[in-house]
Amino acid sequence: MPELKFVRPIHIRPLPEGTQPVVSLKNVTKRFGKIIANDSITLDIYPGRIKALLGENGAGKSTMMSLLAGRYPPDEGVIEIDGNPMKFSSSKDAITAGIGMVYQHFMLVDSMTVAENVLLGQEGSFFINPKEMMKRVGDLAETYGLDIDPAAHISDLSMGERQLVEILKLLYRESRILIFDEPTAVLTPEETSKLFEALWRMSEQGKSIIFISHKLEEVIALADEIAILRHGKIEGEFDTNAIESKSDLASRMVGKEVLLEVNREPAQICEPVLEIRHLTGLGLTDINFRVRKGEVVAIVGVAGNGQKALIEAVTGLCKPPVDTVFIMQKPWRKFFAESTWNRSMCYIPEDRMGLATLRNQNMVDNLLLTTRKGFSKGPWLNKKRAEKDTLALIKKYDIRPGRIHALAWQLSGGNLQKAVLARELYREPRLIIAEQPTQGLDVSATEEVWSRLLEARGMAGILLVTGDLNEALQLADHIAVMYRGRILGMLPTSDKETPGKIGPLMAGVID
Amino acid sequence: MPLKIRKRDDPWKWGALVVFLGALLFSLAISGLLLAGQGKDALEGLYVLWQGSFGNLWALEGALLKAIPLFLCSLGVAIAFRMQIWNIGAEGQFALGAIGATWMALLFPDLPGIILLPLMFVMAFLFGGFWAFIPAFLKLKLRVNEIISTLMLNYIAILLLDFLVFGVWKDPASFGFPMTPEFTSGAVIPHIGESRVHWGILFCTVVGIGLWAFMRYTRLGFELQASGQGSRVAKYAKIRYGMLVMLVMTLSGGFAGWAGCVETSAVLNRLQPSLMVGYGYTAIVVAWLARLEPLNIAFASFLLAALRVGVENLQLELQIPASFGVIMEGMILLTVLAGQFFLTYKLERKHRS
Amino acid sequence: MWEFLIPLFAATVQSGTPILYATLGEMMTEKGGVLNLGVEGIMSISALAAFWVSLVTGSPWLGFLAGGLGGMALSSLHGFVCISCLGNQVVSGLALTILGVGLTHFLGVSYVGLSAPGFFPFDFPLLSQIPVIGDIFFKHNMLVYISFVIPVLFWFFFKRTSLGMHVTATGEMPAAAAAAGLKPIALRYFAVTVGGFLIGLGGAYLSLAYMHLWSNGISGGRGWIAVALVIFAFWRPGRAVAGAYLFGGVMAFQLRLQAMGTNFPSSLLLMLPYLLTILALILSAWRGKRIDAPAALGTNIEPEG
C-alpha cells in the first residue's frame, strides 16, 4: 500500500475522566426483511474525538449511520443526544440535533450551484436572493480556508471538490457530530491526507467525528478509538493505541484469519490481445499500452479521470477513432464486425445490476444474455441446454440461492458478481475487461473473484480497472496510473518502488 | 401508525391475480356509485351490465367480435411496452391498416377472396407498420419522444381517414354520407357458419400463438425481452437495439393495422368514420392489465370487449352514456397500477420499539 | 396586410392562452420529477367543472376556481398512484386521460349546447391604446391578462423562493433533498397538485372564455400539445410562452382559412397543429442534449427502511 503522509499531531488523546457522551446508541436494532442489519448496538460517541467504525461491506455500518442521520427509525432501542432520548422522524430532526452526514455517494444536486447545495433546506427565509446566497457561502468557505467557487455548478467539480461542498454543508449547519461514510474512496492519497488534517482540526475544536471505513491503515492513522462492526453487531471497542497489529485488527473485522493476499504464480505470457495506440479523443490523450495473454494490466486512478471512456472505447459501448484500438490483433471495427460470442472479449462492468444482468429475469436468461449465440440453432434458442449449463455453473461457483429460477435482483452483491463472472468465463474469453470487480464484496467473495481472475490468465489477458490500489498490487503485472485522460506511468509491480510512486501520479505529480 | 412498508423477499405468487380482481371489484363499486349519482338503481345497472356482457349467447358473440381487434392491437402494444417503447399510437395504426386494406378492396374489387384478402392483410400490415415506423425512426435518429409522436399521429391518421371518406373515396350513392362503397364479397372475411363471429378469430389465434412461440423460443424474441431493460444493457449484450426498436414498432403497428383490416372487412364491410371507436386506447388498458403476456391478453381483451358490449346494453336499457365504459376502463387501470404496489411491498405490523 | 395580421395575432393570443396555462402546469409537475400524461383528461374534466359551477352559481370566477380545483383533484389521483403507490408514471397518466375524458363525456352529456356565464373581452385601460401591441394583447378577457402574469410568477417561484428550490431539488435528486432535511414526497405532491391546478385553469378557460358553449371533446388534443411543449420549452417558462403562442397562431390561422371558405379540405387543415407538434419536437431535438430535463423525471421514490 502507498503510505499515508498524514501523521497524527498528538499520538494519544486520552478521554478525560467523566466526559459525557454526545451521542449514545442503546440496544439499537434495525431489520430489513429477514436481514438484521443492526443487532442491538450500544455505542457512545464523545466530543472532541474521532471514532472509527470499522467493518466489511454489508456489516451494517451504513445502516447504523443512516439511523443516526434520521433516514429511517430503528426498530428497537434508543438514540440519545446529550443524554436525552431522541426520535428522528426525518433527516431534518437529525440536522437540528446537530448531526451532519457526508454520504458515500454525495447528496448533491448536479444542476445546482455550490451555494444552492450548501443552503438547501437552510435558506432561512421563503424568498431567496442568489447573490446574497453566493456571498454567504463564499464567506463561509473563506473563513475555513476552503478554496471553492460558490457559483460553480456541481457537475463541473471534481470528486474532491464535491466533498468540500459536503463539508461546507456541515460547517454551515454548525453540526456537532460529523459522520463520514467511506470518504476516501474517491480521493487521491494527497487529498486523503488533506481531508484527515481537516478532520483532525475539527475534532480539536470539540466536534465529534465518526469515520466509517474498511481500510485499516486509514483507521489506525486517524482515529482515537475504534469500534468494529461485524454481521450487524459490535465486535469490539478499543483505543487505537491498544492495537497489537494490523493483522490482529483485520481478523477481528472479518472474524477469521485473512491477509487479503493471493498467491500470484507467474503465468506464461503470449501474444498481445489488446493494443491501444495513440488513442486521443473521448476525453483521452495519447493513450498507449498493450495487454498480452497471460498478464494482468491494472488501470488505477481517482474515479473520473478517463477510465470510463477508456473502457467504453475498448468494449464497444462507444466508438474510438480509427486505428487506435486493436483487439486480438484486429482493428476495432473489424474485431466487432467479426466478433463471436466465445473465445473473444468479455466485460465485467462495475454496474452489475444495471448493465450486466437482467434484474427481473432468472438465472437461465441471465446466462443467455451474452452467451445466447452459443445456444441458438438458426432462429431458435435451446433453453433446455441453457438450463443444464446454468445449473452446472451454479454448482461450480457456489452461487446462492442455488436455484435456476431465482431472479437476479434476489441475489446478494457477491453472488451476483459470481454469476456474472461465471457467465463471462464460460465464454472462454481471450481478453477480459474487469471494472471494479470486487467493489462492495465481502472478503471471501473478493478472494474468490481474485483467484478466478488469476486462473483465467491461462486463456486470456486481463485489463483490470480499479480504484483499490491493494487489488491492483495483488493482481497486476503492470499498473498504469490515469490522470485527466492520460496515462502518467506504467509501473511494473515487481519493482519495490512502485507502491510509493502511485500516489503522486494519481494526483498528477510527475517528478 | 401501526403499519410499516416492507419490500418483499420473494415475488407474491398469486399477487397479480388478486390485485386484478380487487381492482375490478373496486371499480365496479365506484361505477355503481356513479350510476346512483345519475339517479339510477346501481344494483340494477350492474345486473344489466352483467346480462349484456355474459347473459346470453348473443352477448358472448358480441364480446368475441369486439375482442378480435382489441386482441390484435394489444399484442402490438404489449411487445412495444416490453421494450419500454411507449407506443400510444395503436389507434392511428389501426386506422392506417383499415385505409391500406380498403385501398386494395377498392382497387381490385373483382379479385376472388383467396387473393384479395391476403393482399388486404399485407397492405394493412405495411400501412400500420409504416405509421409506427415513423415514430421509431424519429426516436432513434432525433430522439423525439415517442409518446407524443405516436399520439399526434393518431389525430393525423383519423383526419386522414376523414379526408378519404369525405373526399376521393366517397361512395357516390351514399347520399352524402362519408363512407366508401360497400366491399365486394371477395374483400369480406366470411362468418363462421351461422354465427356472427367471423374467421378473423382463427387469424388471431394463429398470430397470438406465433408471437408467444417467437418470444419464448427464438433468439430474437429473447433479445427483445432483454432489451426491455434499456438500451445500455442491450448494448452491453451486443444486441442491435436500434434495429430491434424499429422491428418491434413495425410489428406493433402491423398488428394494429391487421386489426383495422379485420374490422373494416368483416364488421363494417366498408370504410367509414364510425370505424374509430377507441380500440387503440382500450388496447393499452388491456396490455397493461395482462402484464404484457400474450395469453393473458387473450383473456383481458375478451373481458374488456365484454364490458363494451355490456355498456351497450346499459345504454339501450337505462340510457347510460357509452362513456360509462371508458370510465370503467380508466378506473380499472388506475386501481391496478395503485395495487401493483403490493406486488413488491407489503404492509406489516410495526415492531414495538 | 395589417388588417389581416392584427386580428390573426389577437386570435393567436386568445387560442394560445389555454395551452399556456396547461404547459406551465405540466412544467411545474415535471420540475418536481413527476411526468403527468393526464393533461388531456384533466383539462376536459376541469372545463366541465368550471362550466358547471359557473352555470349553477352564475359566477364565472367561482367557475374558474372550480376548474383549478377540479384539475387539482384529478392530478392528486395521479400523485397518489405514482408517488405513494409507485405506479408507472406513463401508464398512470394515460389512465388518467382515459378516465378524465370518459368522465367528462358521461357527466357533461346533458349540458351539450348550453352556455354558462363566462368571461368576455374588454379593452384593458391605457394599455389597449398602444398601437398594434394594444390591439394584439390588451383587448381580451380577464383570463388572458391573468395568463400574462403566471409565467413571471413561475420564474420567480423557481429562482427566488426556497420552496421553488426545494421542488427543483426533488425533481433532480430526491435523495439529496431528503438528506438536506426536506420531504421529497410532500414536495412532489405539491408540484403535482399545483401543476394540476394550473392545468385546470387552462381547462376552465376553454369552457368559460373560449367556447362559451358546452360541447363534447372540448379539449381537442390541447393537453397533449402542452405535454410536448414542455419538452420544446426545455422546462423554461419563457419558452413555454413562445411555444404556446406558436400553437395558438397555427390554430387561429387554420380557423381563419376555414372561415374564409377555401377549397382546401378541412381535415387536412386540422392536421396542422399535430404536424407542428412533431416538427417542434424534431426542432428541439436539434439542440442535441436533454440535460434540461429534471434528472429524476419519471422515476418514483422508493420507500426506505
Contact A318/B at CB under 8 A: no
Nearest CA in chain C to A95: C181
- The C-alpha cell 495513440 sits at A278
Contact A121/C at CB under 8 A: yes
Give the one of C169, C181, C295 whose C-beta lies nearest to A91's C-beta. C181
Nearest to B329 by CA among B262, B264, B279, B268: B279
Query: How many H helices and E strands in chain A?
Result: 16, 22
pLDDT at A511: 67
Q: What is the crossing angle of helices C2-31 and C184-205, to 10°?
A: 160
Closest CA of chain C from A385, distance in Å? 36
pLDDT in tens, A118-152: 999 999 899 999 999 999 999 999 988 888 999 99
The whole-angstrom separation of Cα A46 and Cα B113 is: 90
pLDDT at A104: 83
Q: Give the pLDDT mean for A211-237.
A: 87
pLDDT at A387: 95
pLDDT at C30: 97
Closest CA of chain C from A107, distance in Å? 4
pLDDT at A256: 62
Domains of chain B by start residue, with CATH: 70-319 (1.10.3470)
- The C-alpha cell 436494532 sits at A29
Contact B353 A365 (CB under 8 A): no
pLDDT in tens, B3-27: 777 788 777 888 889 999 999 999 9
CA dihedral B97, B102, B104, B105 (to 10 degrees): 140
Band of pLDDT at residue B353, cut at 50, 70 and 90: very low
Contact C176 A107 (CB under 8 A): yes
Helix (H, G, I), strand (E, B) or coil at A100: strand
Chains touching C, CB cut-off 8 Å, 3+ pairs = A, B
Contact B337 C88 (CB under 8 A): yes
Interface test with A, best of C153, C158, C165 (most A CBs within 10 A): C165
Kindly tell me if the per-residue pLDDT of B352 is higher than 70: no
Contact B349/A at CB under 8 A: no
Give the one of B166, B321, B345 whose C-beta lies nearest to C267's C-beta. B166
Exposure of A436 in the CB half-sphere (CA atoms within 13 A): 16
Kindly tell me if the per-residue pLDDT of C2 is higher than 90: no
Contact C277 B334 (CB under 8 A): no
Contact A75/B at CB under 8 A: yes
pTM: 0.91
The whole-angstrom separation of Cα C222 and Cα A76 is: 53
Domains of chain A by start residue, with CATH: 21-98+176-259 (3.40.50.300), 108-174 (no CATH), 268-344+461-511 (3.40.50.300)
Kindly tell me if the per-residue pLDDT of A2 is higher than 70: no
Q: Which residues of chain B are within 8 Å of residue A410 when distances are taken between CB atoms?
A: 9-10
Q: Which grid coordinates belong to A450?
A: 481474485
Q: Which residues of chain B are within 8 Å of residue C305 when distances are taken between CB atoms?
A: 4
Nearest to A459 by CA among A238, A270, A260, A203: A270
Which residues of chain B from 247 to 266 reach within 8 Å of chain C, CB to CB?
none
The whole-angstrom separation of Cα A500 and Cα A478 is: 14
Contact A91 C179 (CB under 8 A): yes
Cα angle: B226, vertex B338, B310; to 5 degrees: 100
DSSP assignment of B7-25: E-SS--TTHHHHHHHHHHH
Contact B343/A at CB under 8 A: no
Label the pairing between strands A431-435 and A461-465: parallel
Give the one of C159, C162, C295 whose C-beta lies nearest to A110's C-beta. C295
Residue type, C76: S
Q: Give the pLDDT mean for C166-183.
A: 95
The whole-angstrom separation of Cα A221 and Cα A199 is: 12
DSSP assignment of C28-68: HHHHTT---TTHHHHHHHHHHHHHHHHHHHS-HHHHHHHHH
Higher local confidence (pLDDT), C228 or A440: C228
Helix (H, G, I), strand (E, B) or coil at C290: coil
Q: Which residues of chain B are within 8 Å of residue C97 when distances are taken between CB atoms?
A: 330
Kindly tell me if the per-residue pLDDT of A55 is higher than 80: yes
pLDDT at C289: 55
Q: Give the pLDDT mean for C243-251.
A: 93
Contact C169/A at CB under 8 A: yes
- pLDDT > 70: what percent of chain B? 98
Q: Give the pLDDT mean for A175-192.
A: 86
- Highest-confidence range of B27-36, B257-266, B310-319, C117-126, by mean pLDDT? B257-266
Domains of chain C by start residue, with CATH: 2-285 (1.10.3470)
Closest CA of chain C from A93, distance in Å? 8
Closest CA of chain C from B186, distance in Å? 31
What interface predicted TM-score (ipTM) does this complex get?
A: 0.92
Q: Are C100 and B330 in contact (CB under 8 A)?
A: yes
Q: Which grid coordinates belong to B117?
A: 384478402
Q: Are C195 and C26 in contact (CB under 8 A)?
A: yes
Contact B226 A365 (CB under 8 A): yes
pLDDT in tens, C43-66: 999 999 999 999 999 999 999 999
Give the one of C162, C181, C291 whose C-beta lies nearest to A125's C-beta. C162
Band of pLDDT at residue A215, cut at 50, 70 and 90: confident
Q: Which grid coordinates belong to A494?
A: 515487481
Nearest to B107 by CA among B186, B173, B175, B166: B186
- The C-alpha cell 387501470 sits at B333
pLDDT at A232: 87
Q: Which residues of chain A are within 8 Å of residue B10 when distances are taken between CB atoms?
A: 410
pLDDT at A304: 77
Phi and psi at A29, nearest 5°, equal -125, 140
Kindly tell me if the per-residue pLDDT of C97 is higher than 60: yes
Contact A120 C161 (CB under 8 A): no
Which are the contacts of B254, defined by CB distance < 8 A and separation ≥ 6?
A: B76, B93, B97, B124, B125, B126, B128, B129, B132
Q: Are C70 and C199 in contact (CB under 8 A)?
A: no
Contact B112/C at CB under 8 A: no
Contact B88 C77 (CB under 8 A): no
Q: Which residues of chain B are within 8 Å of residue A373 when distances are taken between CB atoms?
A: 219
Listed range (A53-57, B96-100, B341-345, C164-168) with the worst mean pLDDT? A53-57
Contact C159/A at CB under 8 A: yes
Ranges of beta strands (E only) in A88-152 are 99-102
pLDDT at A50: 94
Higher local confidence (pLDDT), A4 or C248: C248
Contact A238/B at CB under 8 A: no
Compute CA distances A290 → A348, A432, A480, B287, whole Å.
19, 13, 11, 51
Cα angle: B304, vertex B305, B310; to 5 degrees: 95
Q: Which residues of chain B are within 8 Å of residue A369 when distances are taken between CB atoms?
A: 226, 233, 237
Listed range (A318-322, B69-73, B244-248, C260-264) with the worst mean pLDDT? C260-264
Q: Give the pLDDT mean for A443-463.
A: 90
pLDDT at A263: 77
pLDDT in tens, C198-223: 999 999 999 999 988 899 888 989 99
pLDDT at B76: 96
Closest CA of chain B from C256, distance in Å? 19
pLDDT at C182: 94
**Which residues face A281 on adjacent strands?**
A284
Q: Give the pLDDT mean for C140-158.
A: 96
Q: Give the pLDDT mean for A204-221.
A: 87
pLDDT in tens, C275-284: 999 998 898 8
Ranges of beta strands (E only) in A328-443 are 330-331, 345-348, 376-377, 380-381, 431-435
pLDDT in tens, A262-282: 778 888 999 999 999 999 988
Kindly tell me if the per-residue pLDDT of B300 is higher than 50: yes
Chains touching B, CB cut-off 8 Å, 3+ pairs = A, C
Contact B345/A at CB under 8 A: no
Band of pLDDT at residue A447, cut at 50, 70 and 90: confident
Q: Which residues of chain B are within 8 Å of residue A33 when distances are taken between CB atoms?
A: 6-9
pLDDT at C216: 87
pLDDT in tens, A328-376: 999 999 999 988 899 999 999 998 888 999 988 999 999 999 999 999 9
Kindly tell me if the per-residue pLDDT of A1 is higher than 50: no
Which are the contacts of A209, defined by CB distance < 8 A and separation ≥ 6?
A: A49, A50, A51, A177, A178, A179, A180, A199, A202, A203
Nearest to A505 by CA among A310, A308, A301: A301
pLDDT in tens, A13-36: 778 888 889 999 999 999 887 778
Which residues of chain B from 282 to 311 reach within 8 Å of chain C, CB to CB?
284-285, 288
pLDDT in tens, A367-399: 999 999 999 998 999 999 999 999 999 999 999
Which residues of chain B from 232 to 261 reach within 8 Å of chain A, CB to CB?
232-233, 235-238
Bond prior to C117 in cis (omega within 30° of 0):
no
